[in-house]
């Protein structure tokens, strides 16, 4: 019989479909192994403020198919959390609440930011296991993240639906799909939905090449085009400016240089807001076709998780409890093919899984004649 352990769970970062399935997977497996489970609300804030949420047979029932997270989530960081209007380092509060609640382990379900925050707590001695979730699919060292499959369905359906209206009006319709840094969702939905142009952050685009592809379609009698564009897609010049600022941040020799580079990145990001609308205008001018924009936004994060996400969340959640029972900590439960594998949180934190330029999805998109803007 396993030694009874008490596990805490948080969901942190942007929500994604399948979080409740993950909470249920961890919770039910833990209860059936004789462990106790406590949820904490609203990500790392709940740990700092001891916002407990009881997780038992009753509260874990009926949540598998529900979107969002019953625990609530947030983007707060333990080392910079706003408390009563002031930014504070609440790491010690979190450590104290971990002890006060007699936790033996903490499960953090989250994406890139969550892994950086979890690592800080691992370094302070907490027993942490993480699960990868984000609709962006950009967590390093895992084949899949909880939420991506559902978002892919939603974005693909949107691209499908835009075809008939673009066709009827002989228009360009640009669908903006989530993903600031990684283009998995846009690329996946673009390929699955048959978009004519797919623009992702990993491949800076040239608007003239996009326009040429659209004009070539018109020349062959197809007077409409669907462009799937990621939130973070950039043109060539902007891409170079982002790269240079990121390099300056990485190579900064002191705090001031780092702060300046960070500010530069922030300014570039602010200037990039509204890029899809500017792209639409540019394409109208270059093609003489009307262009319209549809920003899919948070629709992609809401609603019922797909069977694929429920399955992934249950697989990873139950494996997480096995690892805790075996005393394996400081790891993320990564999806590997049909199975799951623990990988060090230290290797995940700070690393993003971007779309490789020679990825098979990219090759397939090119082979079916999709313009990638380069
Ligand atoms: O990381 C998931 C994500 O949905 C991104 O695709 C998007 O850019 C971002 O979160 C939006 O974040 P927020 O919920 O903070 O507006």
Q: Which two tokens stand for residue 302?
A: 């809401």
Strands (E), 84-212: 86-88, 105-110, 128-132, 172-177, 197-199
Q: Distance from the CA of 56 to the center of ligand 1, in angstroms?
A: 30
Residue 306 DSSP code:
P
User: Of all protein residues, whose CA lies closest to atom 12 belonging to ligand 1?
Assistant: 14
pLDDT tens digit string along 160-201? 999 999 999 999 999 999 999 999 999 999 999 999 999 999
Write down the pLDDT at residue 350: 95
Using most ligand atoms within 8 A of CB, pick from 75, 114, 136 the residue to mutate for ligand 1: 136
| 173 neighbors 292 (Cβ within 8 angstroms) | yes
Q: Which two tokens stand for residue 225?
A: 């085009």
Backbone dihedral region for residue 373 (phi beyond 0: left; psi -120 to 50: alpha; all else: beta): left
| 239 neighbors 204 (Cβ within 8 angstroms) | yes
Q: Distance from the CA of 372 to the center of ligand 1, in angstroms?
A: 23
Q: Which two tokens stand for residue 41?
A: 């609300």
pLDDT below 70 — which residues of the chain? 1-2, 4
Q: Distance from the CA of 91 to the center of ligand 1, in angstroms?
A: 24
Ligand 1 atom with the smallest distance to the CA of 232 is: 8
User: Of all protein residues, whose CA lies closest to atom 15 belonging to ligand 1?
Assistant: 14
pTM of the entire structure? 0.96
Q: Which residues of 317-346 are buried (b: 16+ CB within 10 A; e: fewer)?
A: bbbbbebbbeeebbbbbbbeeeebebbebb
Write down the pLDDT at residue 311: 98
- Identify the residues whose C-beta falls under 6 Å from ligand 1: 14, 75, 111, 134-136, 178-180, 231, 301
Compute how many other C-beta atoms are within 10 angstroms of the C-beta atom of residue 123: 12
Using most ligand atoms within 8 A of CB, pick from 180, 183, 185 the residue to mutate for ligand 1: 180
292 — phi, psi (to 5°)? Answer: -130, 155
User: Of all protein residues, whose CA lies closest to atom 14 belonging to ligand 1?
Assistant: 14
User: Of all protein residues, whose CA lies closest to atom 16 belonging to ligand 1?
Assistant: 14
Active site residue 374: no
Nearest to 282 by CA among 219, 180, 370, 210: 210
Q: Which two tokens stand for residue 345?
A: 């949180």
Nearest to 189 by CA among 68, 274, 283, 299: 299
Using most ligand atoms within 8 A of CB, pick from 176, 178, 354 the residue to mutate for ligand 1: 178
Q: Distance from the CA of 175 to the center of ligand 1, in angstroms?
A: 16
Ligand 1 atom with the smallest distance to the CA of 231 is: 8
User: Of all protein residues, whose CA lies closest to atom 13 belonging to ligand 1?
Assistant: 14
Nearest to 69 by CA among 144, 7, 134, 17: 17
Write down the pLDDT at residue 4: 64
User: How wide is the angle at C-alpha 352 spanned by C-alphas 182 and 209, nearest 5°?
Assistant: 30
The single residue of 42, 136, 153, 235 carrying the catalytic annotation is: 136
Q: Distance from the CA of 137 to the center of ligand 1, in angstroms?
A: 12
Angle at which helices 307-325 and 148-169 pack, to 10 degrees? Answer: 160
| 170 neighbors 36 (Cβ within 8 angstroms) | no
User: Of all protein residues, whose CA lies closest to atom 5 belonging to ligand 1?
Assistant: 179
Q: Distance from the CA of 14 to the center of ligand 1, in angstroms?
A: 6
Full DSSP string of 309-340: HHHHHHHHHHHHHHHHHTT--SEEEEEETTEE
Nearest to 294 by CA among 154, 149, 145: 154
Write down the pLDDT at residue 3: 74
């Amino acid at each position: 019989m396993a030694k009874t352990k008490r596990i805490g769970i948080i969901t942190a970062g942007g929500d994604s479909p399948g979080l409740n399935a993950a909470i249920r997977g961890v919770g039910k497996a833990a209860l059936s192994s004789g462990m106790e489970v406590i949820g904490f609300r609203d990500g790392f804030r709940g740990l700092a403020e001891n916002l407990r949420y009881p997780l038992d047979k009753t509260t874990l029932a009926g949540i598998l198919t529900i979107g969002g997270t019953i625990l609530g989530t947030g983007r707060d960081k333990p080392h910079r959390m706003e408390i009563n209007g002031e930014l504070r380092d609440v790491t010690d509060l979190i450590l104290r609440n971990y002890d006060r609640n007699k936790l033996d382990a903490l499960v953090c379900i989250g994406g890139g930011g969550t892994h950086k925050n979890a690592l800080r707590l691992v370094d302070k001695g907490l027993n942490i296991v993480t699960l990868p979730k984000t609709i962006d699919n950009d967590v390093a060292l895992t084949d899949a993240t909880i939420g991506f499959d559902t978002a892919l369905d939603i974005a693909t359906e949107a691209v499908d639906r835009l075809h008939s209206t673009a066709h009827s009006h002989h228009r360009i319709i640009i669908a903006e799909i989530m993903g600031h840094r990684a283009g998995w969702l846009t690329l996946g939905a673009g390929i699955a939905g048959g978009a004519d142009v797919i623009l992702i952050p990993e491949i800076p685009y040239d608007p003239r090449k996009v326009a040429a592809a659209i004009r070539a379609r018109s020349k062959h009698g197809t007077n409409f085009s669907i462009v799937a564009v990621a939130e973070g897609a950039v043109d060539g010049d902007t891409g170079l400016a982002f790269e240079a600022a990121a390099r300056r941040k990485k190579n900064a020799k002191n705090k001031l240089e780092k702060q300046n580079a960070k500010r530069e990145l922030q300014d570039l990001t602010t200037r990039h807001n509204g890029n899809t609308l500017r792209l639409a205008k540019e394409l109208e001018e270059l093609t003489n076709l009307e262009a319209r924009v549809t920003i899919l936004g948070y629709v992609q994060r809401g609603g019922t998780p797909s069977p694929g996400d429920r399955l992934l969340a249950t697989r990873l959640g139950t494996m997480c409890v096995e690892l805790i029972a075996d005393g394996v900590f400081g790891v993320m439960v990564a999806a590997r093919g049909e199975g799951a594998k623990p990988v060090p949180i230290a290797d995940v934190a700070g690393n993003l899984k971007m779309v490789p330029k020679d990825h098979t999805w990219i090759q397939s998109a090119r082979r079916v004649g999709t313009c990638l803007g380069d």
